[in-house]
Structure 1
């Protein structure tokens, strides 16, 4: 069974299956296990999926979080796909889901997720991560907290470093 990394550094089994967008004329078949449905298909069948704790959705990098903003509180898990490690749109999606739309459920990074991205993803609001298959998951806990302090405010700490350290004295001339 695949494994995921949680924001606290624990490595656990991943019960969720990411369902691919079916081809033209094909129907989406749901397994008898928790699954993540493509966002547009979830919206099209929302009445059928809503309120089921074993069904979440995943956003592709080109899909805006506004697409599902009115329904996010119905979802136990939202995943954001990173099609390539250099595509940073998923970071913005995570911040919007957490800060603008108030999503409090599990937010997962999927796709081309690398170890050196984990702390930055955590700061943007992700709380679980599926690493790319060729990466060593045992190194992930260290990567989540590689830096002890960050200068900027983020979802994990809404005060910048200068406010956490107190006011600096102002030099007078």
Structure 2
């Protein structure tokens, strides 16, 4: 499994295995003794079976609606949002909805086509960890995560825009 970057710029070994959506007619195959991320809709369908299991988190695709998790977000130790291609910005909105509307407090991870240029924006939207695309330099990306000390706009990391913070 590839390493991941944490919001503080540290690089650590990934402890979570992403389980792909099963093909039609197949069952969900969850490896034993591993921490796994399963498709969110399958977790909802089998919630009673997975309830309280700290080794099972979920992943949302960019076309999934985070509302499916609305009443259960904080039952999950980790929610990952898949970016199928770098130009698909729906994952940013999903992250903000999970944090701001649904009050998700645990780890939020960006997976998929995640590039260095996106990390600062992902951080501002509420992501905690980032699984970089395999062909990218994780050390360079970790340094880029904290290029900017302040953001102008309000976001999940600050409620006030910079001009209001300066005024107070």
Q: TM-score range by the shorter chain?
A: over 0.9
Matched, 1:157 2:158: yes
Q: CA deviation at 1:148?
A: 2.3
Q: CA deviation at 1:44?
A: 0.9
**Whose radius of gyration is greater, 1 or 2?**
1
Q: CA deviation at 1:141?
A: 2.1
Match of 1:16? Answer: 16
- Counterpart contact for 2:2–2:134, Cα < 8 Å: no
CA distance, structure 2, for counterparts of residue 45 and residue 143 of structure 1: 39
| Deviations, residues 19-63 of structure 1 (Å, cap 9, x unaligned) | 000001101111120000001111111111111000000000001
Match of 2:36? Answer: 35
**1:59-70 pair list within 5 angstroms:** 59-70=60-71
Q: Figure out how many residues of one structure are paired with residues of the other and give that number.
A: 167
Match of 1:4? Answer: 4
| Deviations, residues 119-153 of structure 1 (Å, cap 9, x unaligned) | 00000000000000000001122211122221100
Q: Secondary structure at the match of 2:159?
A: coil
Q: Secondary structure at the match of 2:29?
A: coil
Moved beyond 4 Å, runs of 4+ = none
Match of 1:56? Answer: 57
Gap regions ≥5 residues in structure 2: none
| Deviations, residues 57-86 of structure 1 (Å, cap 9, x unaligned) | 000000111011111111000000000000
CA distance, structure 1, for counterparts of residue 72 and residue 150 of structure 2: 34
CA distance, structure 2, for counterparts of residue 64 and residue 125 of structure 1: 17
**1:1-173 pair list within 5 angstroms:** 1-32=1-32, 33-166=34-167
Q: Secondary structure at the match of 1:165?
A: helix
TM-score between both structures, scaled by the size of structure 2: 0.97
Gap regions ≥5 residues in structure 1: 168-173
Q: Secondary structure at the match of 2:72?
A: helix
TM-score between both structures, scaled by the size of structure 1: 0.94
